[in-house]
Structure 1
């Protein structure tokens, strides 16, 4: 089984440097163009994906729709387990505001920030369900930066921790009872 992991396209809040979390912000014009760029790239590569599944938040769902339509792939029902980490009272703030209000360790101080273990558990739950329901299908998963970073860290601890760019594309292959990275945080489709 292969899973592709795609971070949604850019939003106005991404452009402003605001943390979105589960606040439901739509793609902006650049984000739509980014999604189209990945869809175009994938349409020119060997077809490996059988279906697309995404978070139920607008920015991920719209990204997934653009890709699925271009590749003529079915979209599975959106899955709230694929939502971004809930950032509680931090949602809508910029880094400077967070540091001023809670300090550099804001993740452990601010109210309502979802713990890493909970984010990872949501991702693993979805993955195990797909392995049971679709053992012979390769799924392209469209989600969010912090969520995907936690899932990748859980599945492939040997990967270097990198910031996942908007519309980054990673591929993991399941074999020998573990996940193996085939591609990580690739954005060549965004290069002019």
Structure 2
């Protein structure tokens, strides 16, 4: 199976550099345009995708629906495990203030990075288990969930995985186990040079 995790399009909180977490912020018009552009790139790539899934949060679901309509890839619904990290007391804070307060990301009241990565991998496994072998899946999720999943699979610290642009695509392949193929559209070696 090949699975592409796509970060949702821009929201006003992204623009303001606020921690969104599970706060259900909608796409802004730039985010909708980014989703249309991502759809064009997916179409131009010529790869055959079987379905597109989404986090239950509206910014991810709308991104998925825009891509589905523009590419004619069927929308397969939401997967709860694709939801963003719960940042507890950090939700709504400006990102710089968040890292000033919790430079090690040990914010209270939320889901911590080790739990996040484990959930991300479990969710990928659930998607594999729910679809026939060889299915190719697009899934729209969130920056921290994608980074946490990559960190877990690569056994590297969360903060070593680069921040992902809105609507960037990270590709995963599954044979016996999961393998990270690209991170935000670039090779693993380019994204995390120390891994080579």
Please give the secondary structure, in 1, of the residue aligned with 2:97.
helix
Q: Which moved more, 1:122-131 or 1:23-32?
A: 122-131
* Aligned 8 A contact 1:170 1:185 in 2: yes
Q: Kindly tell me: are residues 171 and 48 of structure 1, through their superposed partners in 2, closer, same or farther at Cα, counting changes over 3 Å? A: farther
Distance across 2 between alignment mates of 1:99 and 1:170: 25
CA distance in 1, matches of 2:108, 2:156: 31
Give me the TM-score of the superposition, normalised by structure 1. 0.87
Residues 98 and 156 (structure 1 numbering): CA distance in 2 closer, same or farther, change over 3 Å?
A: closer
User: What does the per-residue CA deviation read over 1:146-181, in whole Å, with 9 as the maximum and x for residues that have no partner?
Assistant: 100011122234796211111111111223x23333
Q: How far 1:144 sits from its partner (Å)?
A: 0.3
> Does 2:132 match 1:148?
no
- What is the CA-CA distance between 1:103 and the residue it aligns to? 4.9
Q: Does 1:53 align with 2:68?
A: no
Aligned to 1:190: none
Aligned partners of 1:7 and 1:143 also within 8 Å? yes
Mapped partners of 1:117, 1:166: distance in 2: 23
The alignment partner of 1:6 has SS state of strand
Cα–Cα, structure 1 residues 96 and 155, in superposed 2: closer, same or farther, change >3 Å? closer
CA apart distance, 1:117: 2.4
Q: Which residue of 1 aligns with 2:184?
A: 185
List alignment gaps of at least 5 residues for structure 2: 187-196
Contact 2:50 2:136 in 1 (8 A): yes
Q: Which runs of 4+ in 1 moved over 3 A?
A: 156-160
Number of residues paired by the alignment? 183
* 1:166 and 2:163 correspond: no
Please report the TM-score for the alignment, with normalisation by the length of structure 2: 0.85
Q: What is the CA-CA distance between 1:43 and the residue it aligns to?
A: 1.2
Give the aligned partner of residue 131 of structure 1.
128
Specify the alignment match of 1:121 in structure 2: 118
Cα offset for 1:88? 0.8
Q: Within 5 A, what are the aligned runs for 1:5-44?
A: 5-44=5-44
- Going from structure 1 to structure 2, the CA distance change for 1:85 and 1:169 (only over 3 Å counts) comes to same
Q: Secondary structure at the match of 1:181?
A: strand
- Cα-to-partner distance string for 1:48-101 (whole Å, 9 max, x where unaligned): 31000110001110111111111111112202211110001111111343356x
Assess, with a 3 A threshold, how the Cα gap between structure 1 residues 103 and 147 changes in structure 2: closer, same or farther. Answer: closer
Q: Which residue of 2 aligns with 1:82?
A: 82
8 A contact 2:8–2:167 mirrored in 1: yes
Taking the aligned partners of 2:99 and 2:152, their CA distance within structure 1 comes to: 27
